[in-house]
Structures are given as C-alpha cells and as structure tokens.
Amino acid sequence: MYKNFKYLLVIVIYCIICCFPSEANANKWFLEDEWSLEQYHKFQNRYQDLLSNKIEYRLLADTNKRPYDVISYDIDLDWYDMLLSDSTMPEKRFWKGKNDIKLVITEDDVDGVEFDAIGLEINKVYLNDVLLEETLQAADNVVFIPFNAPAKTNDEVRILIEYTYKNTENIGFNLYYKDAVIHKTNNYKIEEQIAYTVNSPNYARYWLPCNDRTRDKAIVSVSVTVPPEFSAASNGLLDTIINMNYEDGTVKQVFKWSDNVPIATYLINATASIYTIFYEKFKSPNIPDSIDMVYYVWKADYEGQGDFNAKRKLETSAASLEYFSKLYIDYPFCKYGQAVVYPFIYGAMENQTMTTLNRLLMLKTYQADITIAHEISHQWFGDLVTAFSWDDIWFKEGAATWSEALWTLEKTQDTAKYYKYMQNEAAGYKELTKMYSTPIHGNSPDLMFTSDYVPLTYNKASWIYHQLKILLGDDVIFPILRELLEEYRFKNIDARLFIDFFKEKTKDMELEVSLDTFFDQWLFKAGHPYYDINTQYKVVTDSTMDASVTVSQIQDAENVVNVFETPIYLMFYNNNQLVHSQRVLNNQRVQEYKIENIPNFTRVNIDISKTLCENKSMKTTSIKGDKNDIQLYPNPAIQSDYVYISNINNPFNNIKIYNAIGNVVDVEIGNFDNVSSINISNLESGLYYAVVNNRVFKFSVIK
C-alpha cells in the first residue's frame, strides 16, 4: 500500500498502502478535507468501535494458524441490483454472494472448521455437496461449520456458503453513488456508481466468509454480476463475459476472473463501475511473450487534458514493471491491472495483479510514478512472497518504499538523488520522535493499527534494506534478494526466515557487522544513533591536514541499544565543499579515528544519507603542541553533553572536575581506548577545571 492518507489511516494503516512522492511532505499524505467530514468521522468512529470490542479486535489482530489450509476459493458476487440503486438506504446496498471453499485438514480429530465473517447473513451451507439442515450463523464474528465425523490430517473438505452481505458501513466492501461530491473545495465528484473491495489488513471477512489470515494463501476465482454498461475487474485473467437475457428484458453481465497461483485474502479484489478500459503490454526479460496490462478509469479522466489525463498519469507503469522485472526476478503473474476508484481511504492498494489507485492521483498535478512504482514492487514483496503475519509488515512496505528510491535512481540515473530520496524517508521517520523507543517488529495491535506506526512501517523499514545494501554492497544484496524471491515464491516468510536466508548466503563473507547484530539493532530494537563528533586537526602542509575524529554515541532511551554497530561515512568539508569522505566502522560508544593527509577542512559530520542517525553536536578545534600530549575538547563546550580528553592513561583514577569555587563536581567519566568522556549534561553554564594527571585544564560550559 501507499502511505498517503496519513490522517485517514486511523482505520488501519497497518497494511497496504503506497505513498506519494517523498520529496515534499505535502504530497505524502492526503489531508482530511479530501473526504467529507461525515465519512472521515465515520471511519474514525468505526475504528474506535473495533478498539472497544475485544472480540472483533482480537480477530482483527489474530494470526494463529487454524487446523486447515484453504486450497481454493470460488467466489460469486451478485452486484446487479445494488449497482442500479439510487438510494443510501441500508438495504439498497445488500447483495447475494457465494463462496465455494476447498480445504485440506492439517490435524487429526478436527470436528469442524470456522471462517471469519462479520455482518454476513448465512443462507445455506453445503458440506461436501450435502445441504446442512441447520441454518448456521456467525457468532463472535466467525461461522463454525460442524463435521458429521471428526476429520483426519490430509482429508479434503468442500464447503459452499451462500450468504447475504448486510454491512451498512464502507469497510471491506465499498459502495458510492454517482454525482456525490466528496471533495467540496475542488468540487471533485463520483463520476459513476462504483463498488469495490479493499481488504487490508483483515477486512475480507466483512464481505466474504474466509480464513482471513495472511499465512493461508489459496487459488482464487471471482465472478461478478453487474448491469450491462458496467465492467468488473478482479485478480488474474478474464476467463469470459457471460451475457444473460431474461424474459422481462433484463440483461445482466457476469465477469469471470481466475488465476492459478495462490493469493492471500487481503489481496483479493473485485471492482465494478462504468469504466473506460485501455491496454498496454510490457516485456519481462526471460519470459518469451509480452504480458498484458489493463487499466480501468472513468471517462472524464481518460479524456482529461494535460496533467489530468489518466493515460498520461499511468504511462510509466510499463517501464516500472520492466525495471523491477530486471532488478528482482521476472514478473511472476499473468497480468498487471490498475483500477482507479474514488473515494479511497489509501493512496493505493497492491491487490495481486489488480492494483487499486486513488483517483486523486489523476486529479492532482504531481506525478503518479512513485505511487505506481511502490505498488508494482509489491507484486514481488507482499504478493509473490507474503509475510506470515502483520508483525512482518516491514518486509513488504519497507521493500516497496526502498523500491521508490531505486526507481528514482533508474529514471534519473543520478545516484545522488537515490541517496537524497532515502534521506527524505529518514526525515519522515525522525519527525515522529515519540516512536524513537518503539521497534519496527513485534508491537501490539493497539499500536500497529494506528497512523503513528506509519514512519516505522514505511520510512524506517526502508532503511533496513538501504543500510543492508550499504553493508553488503549491490553485488551481494540483489542476488540474495532474487534467490529469496525464488525460494519463497508463492509462499510465506517471517523475520527469522529472512535473516537466516541472508546469513546462509553470506556465511563465507567477512562482514563489518554480523547480520544478527544488524537486525537486532534496526528491526527488533528501537531508535537510531545520536552522534557527537569532535574533530581535532593539525596543519601538515599549506593544503593538507591530519585529523583525529572522536565519534561518541549519546543515545539513551528505552529499547535502544547502547552501541549501534554500523559503517559510517565521515564527511570532511571546507566550508560547504566536500573534500574527503572516509568509511569507517563505528562499534564503540566513544571511538577515535586518526586520518592523515586530508585536504584542508573546516568541519566534519557523519553522512545521514547512508546511516540512519542524527548529528547532535559537531566541534572542530586545532591541535596545539605535541600530538601525543593530553588534549581536552571541545572548549568551550557549547550546547554539548560531553567533553573529551585524549592521550591519558588510567582516567578513572586521574581525572577530577572542579567548579569555579573549587568544589569537586560529581560527573560520569567513561574510558574508551585512549579517549575519556566526561558527561557534562547536568552541569550549569560556567567555568570548570579538569585535573588530569596533576595537570589543570580550564574549560567553559555554555548551555
């Protein structure tokens, strides 16, 4: 999914969206006024209802494996009457559905199976083609189908459920009426009656009885009955369109879609409206035939002019598909479709082979290619390979957000723009300081399903891939990702499997940082390093200097490691001109680096486009006297939490700090490989003295 609609994601940001260009925060999120206040608060209130209902909320978050695996869903949706209705009366949005489910039992002595179902009236249930006498209904948001006798492992079972959809809210299934004005400021309206599903994270159960868990992928076919002027889009290939003529003159169309590869329930989609349809093709490198692309847009957008023309807005799709087919592995599905809908709670949704795009992409002046690229990359990360549970949403959303930067590099051929893009993603994460003590992985649902979680799910998670790329190099990370996509093709994965796969593929390599450490600090722990950088220089020639750079990690928060082990890039500038860059391994709380014969420089910082970090303090001072002599720096210490003393032995026994009137000051002193740190964070502004090996150093603290 795309991370737009930051303020509308209260309903459930946890899942699928795809973001708008991160070059400008104004483009990242749709604001509340993109929806009517009535609709916004309706979704907001619905989310609060979920929070207050423990049974529903438990189901929403539940990822436990049930004692069966679904083999296939054959879904039949009759939307004919509903699409012709012109009323907002609740019963006008009701419709009939069928789900023919084939499954295999995975445990012994199973006396029945349950499916998730909310707001669905069960009309009939057939068990292995036999109609059950009892009319079953959902209780606690599941419908339980009892067996006549306990089933054993590997038994196959067929269950046909006929039901009536009776939910009155647009959750999971959405219905909007023609000519309704949604965006009052710009007079955006709904051009045609439209119905569509959006299931992420666990909303398929609101319109389809199913095993609504990411871990249970199944073969899916979908039939949608609509009025003759309507089109219906879904996953896979369009098998046929059946025209049904009735004696009373009624004409109905049935669109039958199917695929032969498994899909998770959150990626199942059906969309119907009066669309203009157009087509393209793209070529995946190692597939002989071109692959079809199909677009569904409203006529007004298809005929739009300039920046508001749908065909123009979507024109980068083929190039993006071809690029990711080369970068990752060949496109793994039978087609790629995009259906434009409005209104839509997300920026977009990566339904397998049939992405849903928010119409605002057509109506705004900024380009749509970043959103398109994000969703396309999900066809590999999320659709082809799917996380077992939402604990690992980072796997797909981090990869897709990182893929935005890779696409930016591809289209511009400018490496600097790739790093700038990632720097902007980091800035988005850094804006939400209250998440600094929260890890990406393993949080409780009451956090996962909130908009606050967005910067971890998308922005920070993308840096896992980015920093892994820097740690391993392009020649290592991309081949491993390709192997991983092949190994887990149409399967599920979690963090442990992901990490173990990378460890196995790099076991013969000498890495600067072990992968266990890398993932522990970036995925399972929170935050990022804060750096104080104190640089001393000595003039060597008219044009060169020697430098002693002391890098101190000063982060201190719950769930944050004391020392991040990571490569960092020391950037030496002469005023604003970069004159030297040095990659070093930072794996100590306080660490000194001596670098010789650098072009003249005036300041040093750590490259924040290559390491997720913050430069909190940067001081540069001249070395006076013998370079092996004791040095205290920075002096004065301006808005700094530490001063440092170099070239001293046994510092714990030989350093004392006095205030201006001669009283000993209690401070924390750390000893780090010939450099000692003095924590002055609790000292007031003023004059102090450090007595070191019977020598006195005067220094000032300025807050």
Burial 56-89 (b: 16+ CB within 10 A, else e): bbebbbeeeebbbbbebbbbbbbbbebbebeeee
Last residue of a domain, one of 564, 597, 617: 617
Where b means 16+ CB within 10 Å and e means fewer, 401-429 reads bbbbbbbbbbbeeeeeebbbbbbbbbebb
**Average pLDDT, stretch 282-288?**
97
Q: End of a domain among 562, 582, 617?
A: 617
Domain carrying residue 672: 628-703
583 and 683, same domain (yes or no): no
Interval 505-517: pLDDT, tens: 999 999 999 999 9
Looking at the structure, do residues 632 and 595 belong to the same domain, yes or no? no
pLDDT at 11 over 50: no
Residue 264 has pLDDT above 50, yes or no: yes
> What pLDDT was estimated at residue 110?
97
Q: Are residues 191 and 305 in the same domain?
A: yes
* pLDDT at site 214: 95
Separation in Å, CA 1 to CA 144, 397, 443, 493: 32, 7, 20, 18
Residue 437 has pLDDT above 90, yes or no: yes
Q: What is the mean pLDDT of residues 265-288?
A: 97
The answer to whether residue 425 is domain-embedded is: no
Q: Are residues 185 and 329 in the same domain?
A: yes
Query: Which pLDDT does position 14 carry in this prediction?
Result: 34
pLDDT class for 691, splitting at 50, 70, 90? confident
Same domain, yes or no: 138 and 56: yes
Structure tokens at 244: 């049904």
Q: Could you report the per-residue pLDDT of 72-115, keeping only the tens digit for each?
A: 999 999 999 999 998 768 889 999 999 999 999 999 999 999 99
Q: Amino acid letter at 602? A: T
Q: Does 638 have pLDDT greater than 90?
A: no
Within a domain: 487 = no
Q: Domain for residue 113, yes or no?
A: yes
pLDDT at 25: 34
Q: Are residues 235 and 126 in the same domain?
A: yes
Check pLDDT > 70 for residue 531.
yes
Sequence-separated (6 or more) residues with CB below 8 Å from residue 72: 100, 101, 102, 218, 219, 220, 221
Give the CATH number of the domain where residue 580 resides: 2.60.40.1840
Task: Specify if 401 maps to a domain.
Answer: no
pLDDT at 346: 87
Mean pLDDT of the region 280-293: 97
Same domain, 203 and 120: yes
Separation between Cα atoms, residue 449 and residue 463, nearest integer Å: 21
pLDDT for 37: 41
pLDDT for the residue numbered 482: 98
Q: Which phi and psi (to 5°) does residue 687 adopt?
A: -100, 135
Percent of the chain at pLDDT exceeding 90: 71
Q: Across the strands, what pairs with 638? A: 702
**Mean pLDDT for the stretch of residues 125-137:** 93
pLDDT of residue 33: 39
Q: What's the CATH number where 45 sits?
A: 2.60.40.1730
Lowest mean pLDDT among 15-29, 138-152, 234-248, 379-393: 15-29
Number of domains observed in the structure of the chain: 3
- Both 113 and 246 in a single domain? yes
Amino acid symbol at 453: Y
What is the pLDDT, as a whole number, of residue 469? 98
* Lowest mean pLDDT segment, chosen from 213-222, 268-277, 571-580, 674-683: 674-683
Structure confidence at residue 61 as a pLDDT band (50, 70, 90): low
> Longest Cα pair distance anywhere in the chain, in angstroms?
108
In terms of domains, do 111 and 44 share one?
Answer: yes
Contacts of residue 139, Cβ cutoff 8 Å, sequence gap at least 6:
none
What mean pLDDT comes out for the span 609-632? 80
Q: What is the mean pLDDT of the chain?
A: 89
For the chain, what percent of residues have pLDDT higher than 70? 88
Domain membership flag for residue 20: yes
Is residue 178 one of the residues assigned to a domain? yes
689, 541: one domain: no
107, 68: one domain: yes
Q: Taking Cα atoms as reference points, which of 629, 640, 655, 618 lies closest to residue 685?
A: 640
Q: Which of 56-60, 72-76, 137-141, 608-612 has the lowest mean pLDDT?
A: 56-60
Does residue 2 or residue 484 have the better pLDDT?
Answer: 484
Give pLDDT, residue 48. Answer: 52
Same domain, 613 and 637: no
Please tell me the number of Cα atoms within 13 Å of 259 on its side-chain side: 24
Structure tokens at 447: 């956090």
Over residues 608-633, the mean pLDDT reads: 81
Does 216 have pLDDT greater than 70? Answer: yes
Residue that finishes a domain, picked among 378, 407, 430: 378
Of the listed ranges 245-254, 362-371, 598-607, the one predicted with least confidence = 362-371
The pTM of this model reads: 0.86
In a domain, 289, yes or no: yes
Q: Which of 330-334, 372-376, 470-474, 692-696 has the lowest mean pLDDT?
A: 692-696
Confidence of residue 644 (pLDDT cuts 50, 70, 90): confident
Q: How confident is the model at residue 58, as a pLDDT?
A: 53
Whether the per-residue pLDDT at 493 is higher than 90: the answer is yes
How far apart, in whole angstroms, are the C-alpha atoms of residue 131 and residue 599?
A: 84
Q: Which residue has the higher pLDDT, 49 or 581?
A: 581
Amino acid at 256: K
Lowest mean pLDDT among 314-318, 561-565, 616-620: 616-620
Alpha carbons within 13 angstroms on the beta-carbon side of residue 71 total: 13
Higher pLDDT, 187 or 156: 156
pLDDT at residue 630 above 90? Answer: no
Q: Count other C-beta atoms under 10 Å from residue 542's C-beta.
A: 6
Residue 628 binned pLDDT confidence (cut-offs 50, 70, 90) = low
For residue 17, being part of any structural domain is answered with yes
Q: What is the pLDDT of residue 38?
A: 44
Please say whether the dihedral angle defined by the alpha carbons of residues 472, 476, 481 and 484, taken in this order, is positive or negative: negative
Tell me the two tokens of residue 32.
Answer: 């509340």
- Give the CATH number, domain containing residue 672: 2.60.40.10
